Amino acid sequence: MTNYQRTTLYIGVTSNLRSRIYEHQNKIHLKSFTAKYNLALCVYYEVYTSIEEAIDREKQLKKWSRAKKDALINSFNKNWDDLTKIINEWDE
């Protein structure tokens, strides 16, 4: 997740991406990092078959430099478009 200025990034893990994006965009958790920094755009995601793999990847990404994270996002979503609409169209 990022903000409209693309200055702050949030990396997290969830078993329900649609629901979690909704929570971030609607500031359901008022004291959360995403609410505090107004992070409402989903610009990158990865899908894993196990929660353990997802958590390991989250930990790996959080250790990366901002430049490396930016390069990863750019390789997936060059314009940093909000992917919420695409994600919401996934089959359940």
Tens digit of each residue's pLDDT (9 = 90 or more) over 19-72:
999 999 999 999 999 999 999 999 999 999 999 999 999 999 999 999 999 999
Q: Is the residue at 4 inside a domain?
A: no
Put simply, whether the predicted model's pTM sits higher than 0.85 gets the answer: yes
Domain extent at residue 59: 17-88
Q: Is the residue at 3 inside a domain?
A: no
CA angle (62 as vertex; 18, 72 as ends), nearest 5: 70
How many Cβ atoms sit within 10 Å of the Cβ of residue 86?
A: 12
The count of structural domains within the chain is 1
pLDDT level of residue 91 (50, 70, 90 thresholds):
confident
CB within 8 A of 55, min separation 6: which ones? Answer: 13
Q: Is the residue at 5 inside a domain?
A: no
Alpha-carbon gap, residue 17 to 48, rounded angstroms: 12
The yes-or-no verdict on residue 92 having pLDDT over 80 is no
Q: Is the residue at 77 inside a domain?
A: yes
